[in-house]
Amino acid sequence: MNSNLTNTRDPVRIWTGALAFLFPFLSLVTLFGVSLGSFLFLITALILFKPCRDALVRHWPQVRWVVLAFLLHFLFVLGCALVRGANMNTVEKPARMFFAVSSLAVVLAARPSRRMLWWGVIGGAMAALPFVAWQRIGLGIERPGGLINAITFGDLALLLALLAVTAAIDMKNDPRHARLAALGALAGLAASLLTGSRGGWIALGVAALLFLRHARVLGSRSVRVLLAAGAAVVLAAWFVPASGMQGRFQDGVNDVRGWFEDGTVFTNVGTRLELWKGATMLIAEHPLLGKDFVACRERLAEFARDGRLDPVVLPLPHLHNDALQELATGGVLGFALWAAILAAPLSFFLRELRGGVDKPQAALALAGVLVVTSYVSFGLTEVIFWSMKGSLFYALMVFVLMGFCLNAKEKIG
């Protein structure tokens, strides 16, 4: 097959554009959407092996550190599983995250229109809102989460909203499409607020700072109006008691005060703080390489039997903080390799964003920065990488945005 798809790219562009659309669009309204997207990208890369390989080779100097970061993270987890004799299921997430590099290769080789990604993001955010609104209002579920955990749903809905803002920035010269992107952004934000997830609030604050820092990228009055409307939605949710936002914030403050002053652990935040105390004890025992999470859970149970930890934390599935989770299970080395899958993409996107509004990849690069910083923010109070959906969404979105960034620099797509 000809390694240059430019001559025969129409059917391939349609197919790869459909893939770029489907994985964000299906991410919150199905259980299988993100996994299906990763599988189809991989199969497509294998079918188009030579052009995909050539595209990666051509751009290797720009992408190598990101690809190597995901590879080393995967190899470290694999090595730990083999040495510890642990369940090999622990290897599946980092392996599939690494193989998501196939999406980068496919986007670089097939050069689909980036608008397909934007429509997937916008559609995914719009589809998320009626789903949780029906659960919250129609079914009376206090913390709706669609088909998944309410926290993960709320976090990803917020991220889709932020990506829809960057879509509006990218399409600012097409007012009709920019308005649709604005509606998607507001829908995703409203869906996140309806879940009652507090972890996303941090990401929202970081995003606001990024938009202020890169204000020149916004470029149009309509985008600034969109950001003002988003701020108005948040403020309205804060001051309307039925939203529960102000109440959950006050509950969080009270929970922290109760844990520090009275040792109260029977609250959402109090349980997390007690769990983090246990995590620091685990890390202190095995600081270099950590230990298998099954062994970590057994050790936490021993702490509880010894009276050093409240047993209320034992049923929780993870440590509710990405960094502590990595330090406990992988030690300092594992933490460094995990941090690299955040730092390397962030460095790539910041480099592409440098120079601001005049660069054709500016909106895409800003979207990449938002993906990474949002995941860092989510991980402060949750292990966002715990689920396959959360892990694959991150890897796919990072690699797809990298591909579209590099294509935009060549004025393709």
Residue pLDDT, tens place only, 9-30: 578 999 999 999 999 999 999 9
**Per mean pLDDT, which of 3-12, 256-265, 362-371 is the most reliable?**
362-371
Helix axes 114-133 and 9-25, enclosed angle (nearest 10): 30
For residues 230 and 225, what is the distance between their CA atoms, to the nearest angstrom?
A: 9
Residue 201 pLDDT grade (very low, low, confident, very high; cuts 50, 70, 90): confident
What is the mean predicted confidence (pLDDT) over 233-237? Answer: 63
Look at residue 242 and tell me whether its pLDDT is greater than 60.
no
Cα 359-406-344 angle, rounded to 5 deg: 100
What is the mean predicted confidence (pLDDT) over 58-72? Answer: 97
Q: Which parts of 201-240 are beta strand (E)?
A: none
Residue 299's CB: how many other CB atoms inside 10 A? 18
Token pair recorded at residue 319? 């440590």
- Cβ 21 vs Cβ 117: under 8 Å: yes
At 147 the pLDDT is 87
Q: Which of 237-251, 292-306, 344-358 has the lowest mean pLDDT?
A: 237-251
